Chain A
Amino acid sequence: MHELYAILREITGYIYPNEVELHWGILIVVYPYITGLVAGAFILASLVKVFNVKEVQPTYRLSLLTALAFLIVAPMPLLAHLGHPERAYEIFLTPNRKSAMAMFGFVYAWYLMAVLLLEIWFDYRGDLIRLSQKEHGLKKWLHRIILLFSTDTSEESLKFDKKAVKFITVLGIPSAFLLHGYVGFIFGSVKANPWWSSVLMPIVFLFSAIVSGIALLLLIYMVTTLMRWKPIDMKCLDKLASFLFYMMIIDFSLEALDFLHRIYESEESIKILSQLVSSKLFVSLVVIQLLLGMILPLVALAATKLFPIPDELRRHIYFISALLVEVGIFTTRWNVVIGGQLFSKSFRGLTAYKMTLLGIEGLLMAIVLLLLPFLILYLLTLIFPPWPEAYETPAEAEATT
Chain B
Amino acid sequence: MASFGKGIPDQIKRLSVVVILVLAAFFIGRMLLIPRDFGRYDHFRASALFDVASQEVEFAGQDICTECHDDISSQKANGYHQGLSCETCHGPAAKHTESPDEVTPFKPSGREYCPICHAYLASRPTGFPMIIVESHNPMKACTVCHNPHDPKPPQIPRGCEACHAEIARTKAVSHHVYIPCTRCHQTPEEHKVNPRTYRPDKPKTREFCGACHAEGSTEAPEAIKIDISTHGGRYVCWQCHYPHLPEAR
Contacts and interface: CB of A to CB of B under 8 A. Distances in A.
B26 interface: yes
Given A4-B116, A5-B116, A150 B11 contact: yes
B52 interface: no
B249 interface: no
Interface stretch (B12-20, B78-86, B154-162): B12-20
B37 interface: no
B10 interface: yes
Given A93-B33, A148-B14, A157-B10, A15 B123 contact: yes
Contact of A5 (B10, B15, B18, B115): B115
Contact of B119 (A5, A93, A125): A5
A-B residue pairs, 5 tightest by C-beta: A148-B14, A14-B122, A14-B123, A152-B10, A160-B9
A11 B26 CA distance: 49
19 contacts: A1-B116, A5-B112, A5-B119, A14-B122, A15-B122, A92-B26, A93-B33, A93-B34, A94-B38, A94-B43, A96-B43, A125-B11, A149-B14, A152-B10, A157-B9, A160-B9, A344-B123, A346-B123, A348-B122
Contact of A150 (B10, B39, B123): B10
Interface of B: 9-11, 14-15, 17-18, 22, 26, 29-30, 33-34, 38-39, 43, 112-113, 115-116, 119, 121-123, 133
Given A11-B121, A14-B123, A160-B9, A93 B30 contact: yes
A349 interface: yes
Interface residues of A, number: 35
A183 to B, nearest CB: 23
Given A5-B116, A149-B14, 10 more contacts: A1-B112, A4-B116, A5-B119, A14-B122, A125-B11, A148-B17, A152-B10, A152-B11, A157-B11, A161-B11
A349 B123 contact: yes
Contacts of B34: 93-94
Contacts of A121: 15
B112 A2 contact: yes
A379 to B, nearest CB: 22
Nearest to B120: A8
A83 interface: no
Contacts of B18: 148
A27 B10 CA distance: 43
A174 interface: no
A125 B9 CA distance: 13
Contacts of B112: 1-2, 5
A118 interface: yes
Interface string A227-249: 00000000000000000000000
B115 to A, nearest CB: 6
A160 B8 CA distance: 11
Contacts of B122: 13-15, 348-349
Contacts of B29: 89, 93
Nearest to A97: B43
A14 B166 CA distance: 11
Given A93-B34, A157-B9, A160-B9, A8 B113 contact: no
Contacts of A13: 122
A122 B115 contact: no
A118 B15 contact: yes
A70 B40 CA distance: 39
Contacts of A346: 123
B38 A113 contact: no
A96 B44 CA distance: 10
Nearest to A113: B22
A24 interface: no
A8 B14 contact: no
A17 interface: yes
A363 interface: no
Interface in A109-154: 113, 118, 121-122, 125, 148-150, 152
Contacts of A16: 123
A65 to B, nearest CB: 20
Identify which of A2, A5, A14, A348 gathers the most chain B CB atoms within 10 Å of its CB.
A5
A164 interface: yes
Interface string A339-354: 0000010101100000
Contacts of A161: 11
A96 B39 CA distance: 11
Contacts of B43: 94, 96
Contacts of A160: 9, 11
A344 B122 CA distance: 12
Contacts of B38: 94
Given A92-B26, A118-B15, A157-B11, A1 B119 contact: no
Contacts of A90: 33
A164 B32 CA distance: 35
A113 B15 CA distance: 11
Given A92-B26, A125-B11, A1 B123 contact: no
Contacts of B133: 9
Contacts of A5: 112, 115-116, 119
B26 to A, nearest CB: 7
Contact of A164 (B11, B22, B119): B11
Identify which of B9, B38, B112 gathers the most chain A CB atoms within 10 Å of its CB.
B9
B225 to A, nearest CB: 33
Nearest to B17: A148
Interface in A76-110: 89-90, 92-94, 96
